[in-house]
Amino acid sequence: MSRWGTGPLGRVIRAGVGRRRVQTVVIAIATMMAVASAVVAGSLMVATNAPFDHAFAKQHGAHLTVQFDPDKVSEAQLKETKQLEGVTASGGPYPSTSFQPVDSQGGHLPSLTLVGRSGPHADVDDLDLKSGRWARKPGEIVLSASFTGPVLKVGSTLKTSDEAGGQTLTVVGFATSVAKTADAWATPGQVRSLASKDSPVTSQMLYRFADAGSKGQIAADRKALVAAMPSGALVGTQSYLDTKRAADSGARATIPFLLAFGVLGIVMSVIIIGSVVSGSVGTSLRRIGILKAIGFTPREVVRAYVAQALIPAGAGIVLGVGLGNLLAVPLLEDTEQVYGTASLTVAWWVDVVVPLVALLIVGMAALVPALRAGRLHTVEAIAVGRAPRTGRGQWAHRAAGRLPLPRAVTYGLASPFTHPVRTIALLLAVAFGTVAATFAVGLTQSLNAVGAASDPEERSAVTAISGVPEGAGGGPSVERKPRGGPPSGEAPEMPSADPEKVSAAIKAQSGTASYYGLTQGQVAVTGLSGAVEASLYQGDTSAGRYEMISGRWFTGPGQAVVPTGFLERTGTRIGDTVRVTYQKDTQTLRIVGEAFDTSDDGLHLNADMATFAKAKPQTFQIAVKPGVSPAEYAEKLTAVVEPLGGDVFANSPSEQESMILILDAMAVLLTLMLVSVAGLGVLNSVVLDTRERVHDLGVCKALGMSPRQTLSLVLASVAGIGLIGGLVGVPLGFALHGYVLPVMGHAAGTNLPPSILEVYDAPQLVLLGLAGIVIAVLGAMLPAGWAAKARTATALRTE
């Protein structure tokens, strides 16, 4: 006999595939869903595996971005620096300045670093032009792709300031610099025309070095540049390692989430495919016996049943790879926008490895029941046929019969105990589907809570800027320098209003609900090298406090609240003290709380402004009363604050972070796939059961059972299993959420507060428990409808 496709064995395989159409379709679709979800998860794991490194290599990113004073070093001298030992490539010099633009709606954007380049391409920092074109003449600007949105798009206009003499710039394109060397680009002449006394032009140079893998190597490279330049020529630097650390920490947090869904998909595929093939063997005992009687060897029987699983699985794998690639593209587009990577296609090896692994899993899942078929004795198989063992499950029928329920329902509730192995597979499929749904609901709620717990400054409706009055010591910038901002660290032009007068004006303004003063700058912490970002608060800080992981928010001077990264870097814990210096004023602060804050690489300190005598509020974050328009409130307050030398603007509603939206979309997509696979497992089991009991159903119909009662019988046979599966799956999904979320947080360098971890409530868990019944009933609807419509005579003739 032939081995596979031709001859008697080939005809048996083709006949089995064609005869068991439902099982064939279930295997194909289940495999397709599993492969598609694996391709999506695998492609996103590749995309989030060191995304910065991939994009940095593609763009020939700058290891060090350096700002030079053009009055102290010439362009010719700067170009000569590419000959320095260790420098492998350089770009520039490019004229650079900073300005704070105003959009077409009058909203103030953060201070932007503007660099003059004649084109996007270069040996170092080869920009990726995402949309539009490059700036060719004065009056045109290219923005970083991170600014893309409903307000800013190609064709939008910006004013360089809200003063009468401000220039108008038209956005002609959006580009990405993986090393964050600038926020915007224009022609060199345009950059020079925007220079002012407060924002002078500097010369930007971009360098790549032979050795730049650590902070020490970057520091040595910088030292060599300083030694080669005139004294005071170098005014600021920015290392790519800071940007890389931020990007990689965000990417690492997605890996546990994707692994969780990947493992769920693999386990469910094994359960369902094994169940389908096992059911095929169980319902084909007579056929197996006949095959052996006419000369088929046990090995050929095994090959026949493995092949009957591999053929539809192969078709499902092909369809799954195609579907996975289609579904992955929009998610990869979002990931590309977040990380600046350049690939929008699934890695080729994912499309190779996933199908091979899936084929291996299907083969192994089919092999175990196929071996059982091969070991069956010929006479026993022919004699038993497809009938279940005598007496199996009779105790369940007797117990269910005592329940005060219709006989059709009790008959259905007892039916699963006739085939315990098949019932266990059905239970596991429903349980894992419920696990996926429970985990996904908790995950999305936690991710949304992360977005809501982000920088509390974004919650304020209006911001009033006072600046630092003369004699206050010249404090730091109003706002934390945005990623990609001026590496020189120079503060933008500041208002100089008296904070006390601004505070009095806010308090007197009708519509004010609450407000607090804030100054942000750098402090020195004993035991830590380098500066630490600090936020100092004044007044009612209830609206500006971070979510607390442990401890409490500060209540007065001498107390500090810090994030997880600060505690880990300093080796401290709540209750310990740290020495902090701000503008030459050194104070000892006691740590009273651990805050959920991932900004500034976890090195951030929050304290009461009264702790430091020289600290003055630079901004006031204002909450308005219900029904008050922030824009109208800001306009009225501006009329009072502007004459004092300050500024006021309404804040735009903060949008959900892109990465959170991506993870939400992935969770929903993968959950729908896994729940669909669970439903297919139910469908297969019910089809097998109804076919085995078709004669019994015919007898029941002949005795007076109505189609509605038949439908109730079939649905009741899975409802109990669905309930048990839900009761098992919800605690497992709850536990999975409790395990994966902290792992994701630790990958991002932080612990998580209770508001992010404790997101389930009792009614929600009850509804999720009922999800098992929903999955089971939906999966059983088609075969239940077929059984209800079957004619009595047809059913009685079927054995």
Strands (E), 440-582: 462-465, 512-525, 532-539, 548-551, 559-563, 577-582
Contact 483, 180 (CB under 8 A): yes
193 — alpha (psi -120 to 50), left (phi > 0) or beta?
Answer: alpha
Which range of 329-343, 532-546, 654-668 scores highest in mean pLDDT? It is 532-546
Find the mean pLDDT for residues 743-769. 85
Whether cis (ω within 30° of 0) applies to the bond prior to 93 is yes
Q: Report pLDDT digits (tens) over 775-787.
A: 888 888 887 777 7
State how far the Cα of 204 lies from the Cα of 111, in Å rounded to an integer: 17
Q: What is the pLDDT of residues 422-478, one digit of tens each?
A: 788 788 888 888 888 898 888 888 888 887 776 677 677 888 888 653 333 333 333
What percent of the chain has pLDDT above 90? 6
User: What confidence score (pLDDT) does residue 471 get?
Assistant: 34
- 3-class SS of residue 512: strand
Helix axes 298-339, 285-293, angle to 10 degrees: 130
Higher pLDDT, 72 or 689: 72
Which residues on adjacent β-strands are paired with residue 563? 595
The pTM score is: 0.66
> What ranges in 60-102 are assigned the alpha helix state H?
75-80
Distance from C-alpha of 184 to C-alpha of 113, rounded to nearest angstrom: 6
pLDDT digits (tens, 9 = 90+) for 222-272: 888 888 888 888 887 888 887 776 666 655 666 676 667 767 766 776 777
pLDDT at site 529: 65
CB atoms within 10 A of CB 790: 18
What residue segments make up the domains of the chain, in order of their start? 1-62+244-386, 64-211, 391-454+656-799, 456-650
If one compares 761 and 30, the residue with the highest pLDDT of the two is 761
Q: Has residue 107 got a pLDDT over 90?
A: no
Contact 288, 74 (CB under 8 A): no
- The pLDDT score that the predictor gives to residue 618 is 86
Note the pLDDT tens digit of each residue in 535-574: 899 888 888 888 899 999 998 899 999 998 888 888 888 9
User: Confidence class of residue 792 from pLDDT cuts 50, 70 and 90?
Assistant: low
Report residue 64's pLDDT band, with 50, 70 and 90 as the boundaries.
confident
Instruction: Give the confidence band of 279 by pLDDT, cuts at 50, 70, 90.
Output: low
Q: What percent of the chain has pLDDT over 70?
A: 76
Most confident of 70-79, 247-256, 299-308: 70-79
Of the two residues 77 and 146, the one the predictor is more confident about is 77
Q: What is the DSSP letter of 210?
A: S
- 26: closest CA among 258, 362, 260? 362
| Average pLDDT in the chain | 77
